[in-house]
Every structure is written in C-alpha cells, then in structure tokens.
C-alpha cells in the first residue's frame, strides 16, 4: 500500500521582492515553514517508508543550511514563495527518493505547493 | 472592577544581531507577534475599558508603520526582542492610558514580556 510521509521544518529568513509594487519591496522577513512529502510503500522488514531522521538530515544538508538565518536574496534575485519553493524542489529532488511534494508557508496563512 | 484588555498585532521584519555569536548575526527575519495589554475599569456608560479600534490605530501609527516590512536594524543597532520591546514601550506609554504590558514574539516559541 502506497503511503505519504511528511516532515515539517521551520526556518527564519529575510527577503525583499524587487519587482513588487508595495511593502514587500522593502527588506523584511518571515518565520517560514517547509513541509516535505515523500511517497512510498513501507518496507516489510522495518515497517517504514523512510527514516524520518534521514529526511531531516538530507533537507538540512541540501537546502536549509543555505536558507535558514540568511537573506534569500543572496540565493536568487526575486525570492517569492513560488521561486523559493522551486529552488527547494531543485535542491531536494536529487537527494530525496520518492519526493512527491513540498509546501512552503511564508506565514500561517500563505502557502505555495510544488508537486511532482 | 479593574480588568485587563489586550490587542494582538502581527508584522514581518528583517533583522540581524551584530553582537551575537551565531546565525542571528546574519541578516534574517521573522513573523513577529505583539500583544499590547492595558488595565482599566469598564465605563458604566458604554461598558468598555477602551475602544479596541482606538488601540489598533495608535499602535499601528506609533510602532507598526516603522516595523512592518522593514529592516529593524534601521531603527536601532541591536534589535533583539528585548531591545525592541523597550523601544515600543517608549513610543506607546504616552499614548495608551493604563498601558500595563507588552509581549513580543519572534517565533511562536520565543517571547519577551515588558511590564512597569
């Protein structure tokens, strides 16, 4: 039976949107939430799709270390939630087998999702 | 009977802590929450301590316009949560009668409370 496994992450970053007409053009920041979804079948040996800790380590090593407590404009010119989510997807896809989706929240109300 | 009345505010800002030895030294940001609490007795006429909207306008004009979607290092050299809440207190105490307490969250877990 296929299942989906999700791991949540929280990080704090600054950003400014240079092409936005409004307050987001100024340097400001957020407590972001990232949710990583992996799809697979539980292994009959250990009953797990994947080790949660393994996903945690891979996400930190391949993406979050560069984003957390950084200015996201150092990673790209226009770090909208959409562009940051696409950046996470590109970083995580080669490193996490079965990656099915990532969701990125700028605040508890605003979320962007990328799915395979 | 004296009661406490509180109004919550949310804003997004960038900051860095120049004297911190760790990731907070780098430019990053948060979704801040500010809670303004005052004390008073409900007026026998209208049954209110104060008009919530009046507090909202005062805090927005005196504090939030300078913080929301800004870099807090433009306001002070070392914008820790502690220093920010003192800065806010100094701006609000003359304008909010009965001001009792300010609470400032950098994240849902980290909060500083200032009382007089």
B3-115 has CATH 3.30.479.10 classification: yes
Interface test mutation site (partner B, options A8, A10, A12, A32, max chain B beta carbons within 10 A)? A12
Average pLDDT over chain B reads: 96
Distance, in Å, from the CA atom of A11 to the CA atom of A69, rounded to the nearest integer, reads 7
Chain A residues 45-74 with CB within 8 Å of chain B:
68-71
CATH superfamily entry for domain A3-115 = 6-pyruvoyl tetrahydropterin synthase/QueD (3.30.479.10)
- Position A111 scores a pLDDT of 94
- Position B57 scores a pLDDT of 97
- Position B29 scores a pLDDT of 98
Distance, in Å, from the CA atom of B111 to the CA atom of B103, rounded to the nearest integer, reads 7
Average pLDDT over chain A reads: 96
Q: Check pLDDT > 90 for residue B1.
A: no
Q: What is the mean pLDDT of residues A20-34?
A: 97
Q: What is the pTM of this model?
A: 0.88
Which residues of B are annotated as catalytic? 24, 69, 106
Confidence band of A76 (pLDDT split at 50, 70, 90): very high
- Say which of B24, B29, B107 has its CB closest to residue A28: B29
For A60, the token pair is 């930190």
Distance, in Å, from the CA atom of A31 to the CA atom of A107, rounded to the nearest integer, reads 7
CA distances from B104 to A30, A112, B85 (A): 15, 27, 7
Q: What is the mean pLDDT of residues B82-102?
A: 97
- Which residues does chain B have within 8 Å of residue A108's beta carbon, measured at their own beta carbons? 31
Q: Check pLDDT > 90 for residue B116.
A: no
Distance, in Å, from the CA atom of A14 to the CA atom of A12, rounded to the nearest integer, reads 7
Distance, in Å, from the CA atom of B23 to the CA atom of A14, rounded to the nearest integer, reads 13
A63: Cβ–Cβ under 8 A, 6 or more apart, which residues?
Answer: A87, A88, A91, A92
Quick: pLDDT tens for B33-76: 999 999 999 999 999 999 999 999 999 999 999 999 999 999 99
User: By CA distance, what is B72's nearest residue in A?
Assistant: A28
Chain B residues 33-92 with CB within 8 Å of chain A:
68-71
């Amino acid at each position: 039976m296929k299942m989906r496994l999700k791991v949540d992450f929280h990080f704090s970053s600054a950003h400014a949107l240079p092409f936005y007409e409004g307050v987001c053009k100024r340097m400001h920041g957020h407590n972001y939430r990232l949710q990583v979804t992996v799809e697979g079948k539980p292994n009959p040996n250990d009953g797990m799709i994947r080790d949660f800790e393994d996903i945690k380590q891979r996400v930190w090593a391949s993406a979050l270390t560069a984003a957390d407590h950084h200015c996201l404009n150092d990673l790209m010119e226009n770090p909208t939630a959409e562009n940051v989510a696409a950046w996470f997807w590109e970083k995580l896809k080669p490193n996490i087998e079965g990656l099915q989706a990532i969701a990125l929240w700028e605040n508890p109300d605003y979320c962007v999702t990328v799915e395979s | 009977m004296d009661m406490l009345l509180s109004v919550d505010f949310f804003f997004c800002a960038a900051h860095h802590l120049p004297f911190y030895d760790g990731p907070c030294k780098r430019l990053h940001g948060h979704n801040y929450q500010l809670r303004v609490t005052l004390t008073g007795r409900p007026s026998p006429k209208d049954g209110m301590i104060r008009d919530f909207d009046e507090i909202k306008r005062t805090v927005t004009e005196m504090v939030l316009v300078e913080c929301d979607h800004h870099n807090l290092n433009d306001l002070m050299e070392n914008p820790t949560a502690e220093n920010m809440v003192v800065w806010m207190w100094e701006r609000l105490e003359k304008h909010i009668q009965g001001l009792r307490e300010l609470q400032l969250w950098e994240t849902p877990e980290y909060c500083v409370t200032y009382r007089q």
